[in-house]
Structure 1
Amino acid sequence: MSKISVYVIIKNMYFLQSGIGILANVSLLFFHVFTIHLVHRPRPTDIMTCHLAFVHIVMLLTTLDILSEDMFRLLNFSNEFKCKLVLYMSRVSRDLSISTTCLLTIVQVITISPSSFYLSRFKRKLTKHVAIAFFCIWSLNLSSNSNMIIYTVAHSNRTNLFNVSKHCSRSSMNSIIMALYFLLVLSQNVFFVGMMLLSSMYMVIFLYSHQRKSAYLHSISISLRISPAKRATRTVLLLVSFFVVMYCVDIVISFLSSILWRYEPLVLYVQTLVGNAYATVSPLVLISSDKSVIGILQKMLL
């Protein structure tokens, strides 16, 4: 198979993935906004799910090469401004995806924790704490990615540029600034991924102890259904596991891409497929695990 054929196949997969991801996230956002409107007192996890769906919609829409050349021209701004805006929003939304997934795991830990657990004190005002957490992660990610506005430029004849799309490049940074930025991004990602893993370990322990208790009760002929908390915990664990795997693969591809130091469409599409996999799969997992969403779908289809 020729390189051109591989490129066409991957490009088509890329657009198919983006379409499915956007449709799934819009559906998830719609269902949860509808649920919140009916309930009036939404669960913190509903708010987190809405936020995650919104972030993923922005992320999929601002993936650089999803904007064709014609669409790029339709934005009635200078090429420099369009490059800065798209790359900045894309990077912020990706970091918000990590931050929100981390918060979702922490919220789930607080939700299932017994009264003796330290974090259980946050249960009563969890919605208020979630709002504060949103403000913090938005402030952090908007500020930490501000270098994208400074160093992103439209294509030119300069040679010291790192091409990131057909239209946009990043100019080289001072070595000290680059080192500081790298440490900032690394520490931020290590913190959020580390918190995800710690929260996941707690949830695994919770599920194991719950399973042992259920087995004991079943042995004395008491039938138990899977509780909503247990089902939600399994869903969050599945999301975190998939996210960590895709995140590690994305890091490897990003490293290989940085070595090339030039725009390579094939590598960029593969990297985008991996980077957008979580944004595409997560709404499908959340929809399939939520009985209320499934009930609404069944009513709409009947």
Structure 2
Amino acid sequence: MNILSTYVIIKKCFVFQAGIGISANTFLLFFHLLTLLQNDRSKFTDLISCHLSLFHILMLLTAVAFLSPDMFESLNFQNDLKCKAIFYINIVMRGLSICTTCFLCVFQAITISPSTSGLLKFKHTLRNNITCIFFLFWCLNLSFSSYIIIYTVAYSNVTQISLLHVSNYCSLSPMNSIIKRVFFTLTTSRDVFFVGVMLFSSAYMVILLFRHKRRSQHLHSTSLFPRTSPEKRATQTILLLVSCFVVTYWVDLIIISSSIMLWTHDPVLMIVQKLVLNVYATVCSFVQIGSDKRIINILKICNRSDNKF
């Protein structure tokens, strides 16, 4: 199997994955929006999940746009402007996904904390300052990704051989070594910080859930119809999300960092990087759907209605 056929196969897998991810995240976005409109049924986490779904939709759409430039042919924009906009939005959405996932993890950790821990007082602080927190996330990621606007160019408009191709028609022009190190350090520090906080919060939640499970284990053991406890389901959900998040984002970081630092281009490697990067955006939506009892109940009702007909 040659490189071209391998690229085509992986590209088809990527488009299929992105289509599923966009559909699932769109369902989640509308579900959380409708839930937020019903104040009596909404949760604070619905607002966070709503933002997360929106970021994932935009990230998946711009990722597909990289491989399907004809999608934007109807827009009367120059190719350079298309590349700058698509690549910039994709990078910013990736950063916002990291920040929002971390924030969701921290908020959940504070929510399930015992009243004696002293962490519950931060719950109202986070609620009251949600606008400022998201504004900070936007400012952080818009500024850290600003170099994309300057150095992204359309490959068809230039003849330099020192370009780093990020898609079939977009490239990064050579950067000054100092600028490259500065932005690489900033983005890496952001990822390390937020992933570290997320891992710490997740580990804290897992410890709390296992402690609660031990205390109530005798109650579950006396049940005539034993079933998976809510604590165990929550633990499995947390572990699955954290594991998927860490693996995909660090594999993506290794691939994209090596390409930028070595300034080399491999079409197969880049399409694999995009495939790996979007795994979390797709899996996250299905994990959220499968762990939300409100959605499961709605799906059960719809299934019963279909069976009647």
Q: State the TM-score, normalizing by the size of structure 1.
A: 0.91
Which segments of 5 or more consecutive residues in structure 1 lack a partner in the other structure? none
- CA offset at residue 73 of structure 1? 2.0
Secondary structure in 2 matching 1:169 = strand
Structure 1 residue runs of 4 or more that deviate by more than 6 Å after TM superposition: 220-227
Structure 1 position 287, deviation (Å): 0.2
Partners in 2 of 1:292 and 1:170 — Cα distance?
45
User: Does residue 291 of the first structure (1) align with residue 293 of the second (2)?
Assistant: yes
Q: Residues 96 and 30 (structure 1 numbering): CA distance in 2 closer, same or farther, change over 3 Å?
A: same
Distance 1:69 1:108 in 2: 40
Q: Distance in 1 between matches of 2:274 and 2:109?
A: 31
Residue 245 of structure 2: aligned partner? 243
How large is the Cα RMSD of the aligned pairs?
2.3
2:66/2:168 contact within 8 Å kept:
no
Superposed displacement of residue 224, structure 1: 8.8
- The answer to whether the 8 Å contact 1:154/1:168 transfers is yes
* Structure 2: gaps spanning 5 or more residues: none
Give, as a single letter, the amino acid of the residue that structure 2 aligns with 1:96.
L
Name the aligned partner's letter for residue 86 of structure 2. V
Q: For structure 1, which segment, 259-268 or 43-52, has the greater mean C-alpha deviation from structure 2 after superposition? A: 259-268
Please give the per-residue CA displacement for 1:30-59, whole angstroms capped at 9, x wherever unaligned.
111122222356322111111110000000
Question: Which amino acid is the alignment partner of residue 83 of structure 2?
Answer: C
Match of 1:252? 254
What's the offset of the Cα at 1:23? 0.3
Counterparts in 2 of 1:106 and 1:282: CA distance versus 1, 3 Å: same
TM-score normalised according to structure 2 size: 0.89
CA contact (8 A) 2:164 2:172 kept: yes
Residue 141 of structure 1, CA deviation: 0.6
What is residue 117 of structure 1 aligned with on the other side?
117
CA distance 1:97–1:119, shift in 2 (3 Å)? same
**Aligned 1:133-282 pairs, distance under 5 A:** 133-155=133-155, 156-218=158-220, 231-232=233-234, 234-258=236-260, 261-282=263-284
Q: Does 1:69 align with 2:66?
A: no
- Alpha carbons of 1:99 and 1:149: their partners in 2 closer, same or farther (altered >3 Å)? same
SS in 2 for 1:208: helix
SS in 2 for 1:96: helix
